[in-house]
Amino acid sequence: MKKAYIFPGQGAQFVGMGKDLYDTDPQCRDMFERANEIIGFRITDLMFAGTPEDLKQTKVTQPAIFLHSVILAAHLGDRFRPDMVGGHSLGEFSALVAAGAMSFDDGLRLVIARANAMQKCCELRPSTMAAIVKLADDVVEQVCAEITAAGEVVVAANYNTPGQLVISGTLEGVAQACEKCKELKGRALPLAVGGAFHSPLMEPARVELAQAIEHTEFHAPICPCYQNVCALPVSDPAEIKQNLNKQLTSPVRWTATVQHMVADGAAEFIEVGPGTALQGMVKRIAPEANAYSAEA
């Protein structure tokens, strides 16, 4: 029975995240303090006692989720024995660090670079995302293709579960796609995000992040890492790097990732980090699998 450790992405943050680790484990406290130094401000103050608004700032949200996830994995010590790892969007960076594909410091620096590049991209051109439910993926893809062909930008961004696909694009493109999907008897739920993540509109951020990735040292991980771009297990550092370079402008293939993990023997999925969103997705994708949170 194989274990898959999975790491959440943006949206899982909450006030108080990681405080128990800081208060009870000296190793975790050292890692948090190291992060404060690298980031240049006390992110721990915002994580432990800030406001929900504080945590919604992209420059805070992404490193906060990364830190909670990676430091929890470190806290698990010998209990962290993955046969495979994967992460949803931002969570892929957490997974790679937890599996030893890059150092804690380098991973945090990349996450900071990613957050800053994405923030700049969001300010460059207003854009958004929406969740489409109760429609087949190919139907939503066709809607997006038709609207994009007519001059707007809207694409499939997150394949979360069968029957739940997040779309991403210009404000008008997403609005048109939502209306069309409603006409086709689907439901459209606008997301409170700052931009069109995992779409062509993130190209300037992808280019900026690619430079940071190029100057980061990658290693062979302790187990296969299932990456967002391909949904397949990868262990070669050069291939990991190549896939990471494409992540910001490519869809998150989470449904296929979980399906491939199950096909490769995963029977237990342990979510490492804030929230329980990925467990819910796993249960909808693979009801036969056991999914639960890592216990500190």
What are the residue numbers of the active site? Answer: 89, 198
d(CA 60, CA 227): 24
Sheet containing 154-161: give its strands across. 154-161, 164-170, 127-133, 187-190
Fill in the amino acid letter for 154.
V
Owner of token pair 């790892």: 85
d(CA 83, CA 67): 22
d(CA 246, CA 262): 25
d(CA 54, CA 61): 8
| Interstrand relation of 233-234 and 164-170 (parallel, antiparallel or unpaired) | unpaired
Indicate the SS3 state at residue 85.
Answer: strand
d(CA 192, CA 128): 8
Kindly report the number of other CB atoms within 10 A of residue 212's CB atom. 17
Q: How far is CA 42 from CA 94, 152, 219, in A?
A: 20, 41, 29
How far from chain centre, in Å, is Cα 269? 16
| Interstrand relation of 233-234 and 266-271 (parallel, antiparallel or unpaired) | unpaired
DSSP 160-223: EETTEEEEEEEHHHHHHHHHHHHHTT-EEEE---SS-TTSGGGHHHHHHHHHHHHTS-----SS
